[in-house]
Structure 1
Amino acid sequence: MEAHVESRLLRMIDNMPVAVMTVDPDSFAITYANETSKNLIRQIEHLLPISADQLVGSSIDVFHRHPTHQRGLISDPANLPHSARIRLGPESLDLTVTAITADDGSFLGPMLTWAIVTREVAAEERILRLAQYDTLTGLANRNTFQEWIEAGLEKPDHRMAIFFLDLDGFKTINDTRGHGVGDTLLKMVADRLRNACDHPDMKIGRIGGDEFAVILHDDNAERAETLAANLVAAIGTPYSFGDHANMQIGTSIGIAYSPAHGRTVEQLLSRADIALYAAKYAGKGKFTVFEPAMGERIRDREHLKADLRATLQTMEDLFVFYQPIVEIQTRRVTAREALVRWYHPDRGWISPAEFIPVAEESGLIEPLGRFILHRACADATTWEDEERVAVNISAAQFGGGMLVDSVREALEETGLRPDRLEIEVTETALLGSDQGVIEDFGKLRALGVRIALDDFGTGYSSLAHLRAYPFDKIKIDGSFVRDAVTRPDCAAVVKAIADLGRRLGVTTVAEGVETQEHLARVTEEGCSEIQGYLIRKPGPSERDAPRVEAINRALRLKQQKS
């Protein structure tokens, strides 16, 4: 009977789609390999000193150039389980080693499960590259540039100059000559920046659109201002290409020094930005060094913070708008994303891009997040189609011990079923794999709430995030979707993410779908769902619609009178 059971078990393991091997802990000889292992070995036999038929009985050392470390790991059960990724020539292998024990707990030997993940690693590297560098110019993107500043600040006795550059006249060329010409011009600007900043203590980044930035690891004012003057001259020299000869643009530059003007990334970027606006106000084509007198913008931010704090006392001027997410094949609405909007009596509608960072910096994100969550859950209970509601959660809300309670409270008070709530989180919240974040994810899933990874591809995209966290949905950032129509590299990213989602059994949503061309492209690349202006702009709930319309009517009348 026991022999029959053992034989049946071995047949089952042989037919498993997972590659399995066992190893003798004393001799390190492979004692068993199932058929999947042998089939995988046949794919990489040319990289090994053995064939698949010789696998059993051979030493596990054939997979390692320097096997001593690996022997120490797999021979001691205290080291197990252990996971590793190894390179074998051009191939990448993922390996997990677990301990096999007898009934009495004694160590019988290690069991290895493994897979060839070369394609997945290549996709991860492509996505990582796109997460760190701007695909058009090849320069560092904003996130990477900020990391560089932070690394510089961590050095003892640091000295830096931060330059913010904005192109003067670029928008006119981009609008009149077309985005193709505009993109070519941006690449030419990047090349000129590389030439002008060709020194080991200088770094360049594209911050977004037609904004660039430079780090000079020196706070010598004369050297910094000489560099700024050279940059103004280099970028202002006429550009000649194709039939658009002698096109000319310029640049305005704001400069902030560390430590004189700030000792944090936020302070330096903010003050370089303030100096940039001062340079533009001075007539463009100029550079300006930050001065405290330019701090009006900072004071304006403080006023905004105070106004937001007052608004959160009553919630009267806060609204939640909704934008549908639809399935491509059926055009059925599967969810609606909740998007907060703020009406200010003096300023009018204030962009979330302006007040959400203020809320995060000032600790107001918790009450604001609770308002959005409760309002979204309450509104969703009135929807006849009973589809899900998706709520964005700031990275600042994770890991603090309050998020899960807020979600539970919102569900209980509104009566919304947990499976109808979808929490959207960007990768910023996942950095460092903080234990508090991991616990929040686990507790949310235990409640029955779904989790989506938002803006995938723009932050710190990694397959590790998709393996480590239980995502139900991946949302592809709209910048890739919009550019996928004209740029093969962006289309390849959309396809790679859609393929990953399909393999993982995860829904992929293309954000920012605004035209039929966008829709055709993301459909061709294999996305599951879409969201964007092509389907519908964000709009208020039925309850808020009359007041929002009254506000907009009053704003139109005010604009007509002025």
Structure 2
Amino acid sequence: MSEPCRLSDQPNSALEPLSFQKIFDMLPVGAMTCNLDTFEIDYANPYSIELLHSIRETLGIDPNEIVGTSIDVFHKNPLHQRSLLSKSENLPHKARIRFGEEWLDLHIHPLPDSTGRISRALLVWAIATAEVAKAREEYRLLRMIDNMPVAVMTVDPVSFAITYLNETSKRTLGQIETLLPIKPSELLGASIDVFHKNPAHQRGLLSDPANLPHRAKIKLGPEVLDLQVSSVTATDGTYLGPMLTWSVITQQVAAEARIHQLAHFDTLTGLANRNTFREHLEASLLKPAAQVALLFIDLDGFKFVNDSNGHLVGDKLLRRVADRLRLHCDASNVLVGRLGGDEFAISIEGGDVAEASRLSQALIREIVEPYQIEADRRLSIGASIGIAVSPDHGTTSEMLLSRADMALYAAKAAGKKTFRVFSPDLEKRLHERVRLEAKLRQALGAMDGLFLFYQPIIDIATGHTTAREALIRWHHGARGWIPPSEFIPMAEDSGLIDQLGIWVLGQACREAATWTDGARVAVNVSAKQLGKGVLAHHVLEALVSSGLEPGRLEIEVTESALLSNELDCLSDLRRVRDLGVRVALDDFGTGFSSLAHLRSFPFDKIKIDGSFVRDAVHRADCAAIVGVLADLGNRLGVTTVAEGVETQAHLDLVTAEGCTEVQGYLLGRPVPSPADAEAVARLNARPSADGKAKAS
């Protein structure tokens, strides 16, 4: 093995030869020299030998024998390597070369001799594999960050200048370029203040890592940015600065707001929906010393408006009502909600009975004012209101809503367009109604205590009975005879009216079949029985089972019964009439569109409401109405019956006005059938709780 070349052998060395040699021997980097004529390594410092041992397998030779070896051992392309070293204009040269699995950082410097000829080269080198791996990892991470679908920026924590923007940041900022004070291309190096309305707050947040991580939504013009700030730290935990990730979430925020709106507010009116109102009410009641007034509102006459004008008009009307409620309830302690349909509710935190009553009066006056829905459409409705106040009437939302509903029911019963405050008596009456409904259900199941009474309808010209109207009566074991005005609405509300109606129809046909005078039987049909498509079937069953001729049965319907689902109701009546059964329009003149009903269906009989007849003797306008209706019936070829004839003066007037038939106490009161007469007499003789023993 040849001796390592000594740098002191070089002539004209600028330094004292021994110290120059020692300097290279002590360098902590690899240092070698190469003869450019032979391309052999003629010097290698100790650190080079040490480094070569670490890559001995790749080197392929003993590192201690490196001196005298060709420089070609370090390069895959020796020709390129020799060409590089042989041309002085290529030097100095810096390169990073792959050496097997390792990477070497190589610095080549020319070493001129005394004549100035470049005869040798100095190679300073180090193994850079770890640095390359680190650089590659950093590059990979940088590319990943650049391609992330979220915008990323870094900020200097001292100057607050933006030090980095990934590609997504640049693309996203380009979409909102007009909202920025500077161009996106100018942001690198610019202050982060351009994104915030309060720079002092922003800087305070970013300068202290204790504030991080942090997340916020910031408004930038019409856009909303979702900003997340996290701290970037060195391996020793030193705070290097904040990293901001952000995205434009304007559409997402709008969608979330829409979802929140749908979940918490009524889509038609924009008021709080049932769930939101109940949650707010519960929260109010949980506050210390809570006092909350609750108003339960139901619109009077809305159903008729909705059915007669269509749901689109009904929806417009509900929105107008909501606007008026909002206008009168804009205080911070008041919440207005729509519970469904035409039911609204208002809660007043800190409200008492007096305040709730004043507001109820104002709202009733406001709601009753006409609504100009369209240029040619002006509508009017009313409102009934029930009031309950905590803690006097309840301390839970369920209890308060229930008792406000009871008060609302009382307001409806009092004639509507008014309000009532809950009282224990109302609850007592409601419980009594529930018990009464249960008793009616039992009576229907056992057919016990139910009777049909019959009132005659007389032909004025002949004095003969042409028909008898079947009127249901119910005897309650404890209360005695219950007025039909009390139990019929209850049967309609509870769904018992269908069962009750089928029984009345069958019983009336069976008893009429036994009459020897051939009179017809008139049976009232509730509005709740119409429009279901089953009335004709029940009528046919009653006729077949009783053997009564179809022409001896009359079905009576009121005008109000035709206001809901008019087309379906009239379809039911047409099927009944096709069976040969007569159809009469009861309470004629009291509806909203009497003449329209006469046009829409060929009624066999119209019955003039008794209220006109009773007042006709003293009021010329009522007498005129009776006359007009009687003349109308004669012109249409239908029978006209005057109801409520109780005195001779009544009879004389309706006769003079041209009515065909009459019905009333003067000519006959309702009486039970002969088969029930004895049982009814016994019941009439029995005292009842309210002192009323007889039924009529």
TM range (shorter): 0.5 to 0.7
Q: 1:380 aligns with which of 512, 516, 523?
A: 512
CA contact (8 A) 1:472 1:507 kept: yes
Q: CA deviation at 1:509?
A: 0.4
Change in CA separation of 1:157 and 1:439 when aligned onto 2, cut-off 3 Å: closer
State how far apart, in whole Å, the 2-side matches of 1:416 and 1:543 are. 18
Could you give the per-residue CA deviations for residues 28-84 of structure 1, whole angstroms, max 9, x where no partner exists?
Answer: xxxxxxxxxxxxxxxxxxxxxxxxxxxxxxxxxxxxxxxxxxxxxxxxxxxxxxxxx
CA contact (8 A) 2:387 2:420 kept: no
CA contact (8 A) 1:322 1:541 kept: yes
Q: CA deviation at 1:155?
A: 3.4
Letter in 2 for 1:531: Q
Letter in 2 for 1:409: E
CA contact (8 A) 1:481 1:511 kept: yes
Q: 2:471 aligns with which of 327, 331, 339?
A: 339
State how far apart, in whole Å, the 2-side matches of 1:487 and 1:544 are. 41
2:579 paired with 1:440: no
Letter in 1 for 2:648: Q
2:318 paired with 1:154: yes
Q: 1:256 aligns with which of 386, 389, 401?
A: 386
CA contact (8 A) 2:304 2:564 kept: no
Match of 1:549 in 2: 681
Gaps in structure 1 of 5+ consecutive residues: 1-141, 162-199, 202-214, 231-253, 280-286
CA contact (8 A) 1:324 1:531 kept: yes
Q: 1:453 aligns with which of 585, 592, 604?
A: 585
State how far apart, in whole Å, the 1-side matches of 2:414 and 2:664 are. 35
2:527 paired with 1:395: yes
Helix, strand or coil at the partner of 1:455: strand
Match of 2:61 in 1: none
State how far apart, in whole Å, the 1-side matches of 2:405 and 2:559 are. 19
State how far apart, in whole Å, the 1-side matches of 2:458 and 2:560 are. 26
Letter in 2 for 1:534: L
Match of 2:655 in 1: 523
Change in CA separation of 1:452 and 1:267 when aligned onto 2, cut-off 3 Å: farther
Equivalent runs, 1:187-202 vs 2, <5 Å: none
Match of 1:225 in 2: 357
Helix, strand or coil at the partner of 1:474: strand
Equivalent runs, 1:459-538 vs 2, <5 Å: 459-538=591-670
Match of 2:409 in 1: 270
Q: Percent identity?
A: 51
State how far apart, in whole Å, the 1-side matches of 2:473 and 2:323 are. 41
2:563 paired with 1:431: yes
Helix, strand or coil at the partner of 1:523: helix
Change in CA separation of 1:433 and 1:499 when aligned onto 2, cut-off 3 Å: farther
State how far apart, in whole Å, the 2-side matches of 1:273 and 1:535 are. 35
2:523 paired with 1:359: no
Structure 1 or 2, whichever has the larger Rg, is: 2
Could you give the per-residue CA deviations for residues 239-283 of structure 1, whole angstroms, max 9, x where no partner exists?
Answer: xxxxxxxxxxxxxxx9525999879x997751425899xx9xxxx
Change in CA separation of 1:267 and 1:554 when aligned onto 2, cut-off 3 Å: closer
CA contact (8 A) 1:480 1:493 kept: yes
State how far apart, in whole Å, the 1-side matches of 2:502 and 2:324 are. 40
Equivalent runs, 1:1-40 vs 2, <5 Å: none
CA contact (8 A) 1:275 1:294 kept: no
Moved more, 331-340 or 291-300: 291-300
Q: CA deviation at 1:154?
A: 3.0
Change in CA separation of 1:226 and 1:317 when aligned onto 2, cut-off 3 Å: same
State how far apart, in whole Å, the 2-side matches of 1:554 and 1:546 are. 13
Match of 1:29 in 2: none
Letter in 1 for 2:663: Q
Normalised by the length of structure 1, the TM-score is 0.53
State how far apart, in whole Å, the 1-side matches of 2:429 and 2:689 are. 28
Change in CA separation of 1:422 and 1:145 when aligned onto 2, cut-off 3 Å: same
Change in CA separation of 1:534 and 1:216 when aligned onto 2, cut-off 3 Å: farther
State how far apart, in whole Å, the 2-side matches of 1:257 and 1:482 are. 38
Change in CA separation of 1:406 and 1:275 when aligned onto 2, cut-off 3 Å: closer
CA contact (8 A) 1:160 1:258 kept: no
Could you give the per-residue CA deviations for residues 483-538 of structure 1, whole angstroms, max 9, x where no partner exists?
Answer: 11111111111111111101100111010110011111111111111000000110
State how far apart, in whole Å, the 1-side matches of 2:567 and 2:301 are. 24
Q: CA deviation at 1:158?
A: 3.8
Helix, strand or coil at the partner of 1:321: strand
Q: CA deviation at 1:345?
A: 0.5
Match of 2:540 in 1: 408
State how far apart, in whole Å, the 2-side matches of 1:429 and 1:398 are. 8
Equivalent runs, 1:160-175 vs 2, <5 Å: none
Letter in 1 for 2:411: A
Equivalent runs, 1:101-120 vs 2, <5 Å: none
Helix, strand or coil at the partner of 1:155: helix
2:434 paired with 1:302: yes
State how far apart, in whole Å, the 2-side matches of 1:274 and 1:429 are. 19
State how far apart, in whole Å, the 1-side matches of 2:649 and 2:300 are. 29
Helix, strand or coil at the partner of 1:298: helix
Q: CA deviation at 1:442?
A: 1.6
CA contact (8 A) 1:365 1:396 kept: yes
Letter in 1 for 2:386: A
CA contact (8 A) 2:550 2:580 kept: yes
State how far apart, in whole Å, the 2-side matches of 1:385 and 1:296 are. 48
State how far apart, in whole Å, the 1-side matches of 2:593 and 2:586 are. 11
Helix, strand or coil at the partner of 1:467: helix
Helix, strand or coil at the partner of 2:475: strand
State how far apart, in whole Å, the 1-side matches of 2:433 and 2:555 are. 29
Change in CA separation of 1:504 and 1:302 when aligned onto 2, cut-off 3 Å: same
Q: Number of matched residues?
A: 338
Q: CA deviation at 1:217?
A: 11
Q: CA deviation at 1:218?
A: 8.6
State how far apart, in whole Å, the 1-side matches of 2:300 and 2:606 are. 20
Moved more, 449-458 or 149-158: 149-158
Q: CA deviation at 1:555?
A: 2.5
CA contact (8 A) 1:274 1:295 kept: no
Q: CA deviation at 1:148?
A: 8.2
State how far apart, in whole Å, the 2-side matches of 1:494 and 1:219 are. 49
Q: CA deviation at 1:411?
A: 0.2
CA contact (8 A) 2:608 2:642 kept: yes
Change in CA separation of 1:357 and 1:559 when aligned onto 2, cut-off 3 Å: closer
Change in CA separation of 1:274 and 1:503 when aligned onto 2, cut-off 3 Å: closer
Letter in 1 for 2:318: E
State how far apart, in whole Å, the 1-side matches of 2:624 and 2:356 are. 40
Gaps in structure 2 of 5+ consecutive residues: 1-298, 308-313, 330-342, 363-383, 390-396
Could you give the per-residue CA deviations for residues 61-109 of structure 1, whole angstroms, max 9, x where no partner exists?
Answer: xxxxxxxxxxxxxxxxxxxxxxxxxxxxxxxxxxxxxxxxxxxxxxxxx
Helix, strand or coil at the partner of 2:674: coil
Q: CA deviation at 1:385?
A: 0.4
Helix, strand or coil at the partner of 1:544: helix
State how far apart, in whole Å, the 1-side matches of 2:645 and 2:476 are. 29
CA contact (8 A) 2:479 2:689 kept: no
2:672 paired with 1:540: yes
Letter in 2 for 1:414: S
CA contact (8 A) 2:386 2:405 kept: no
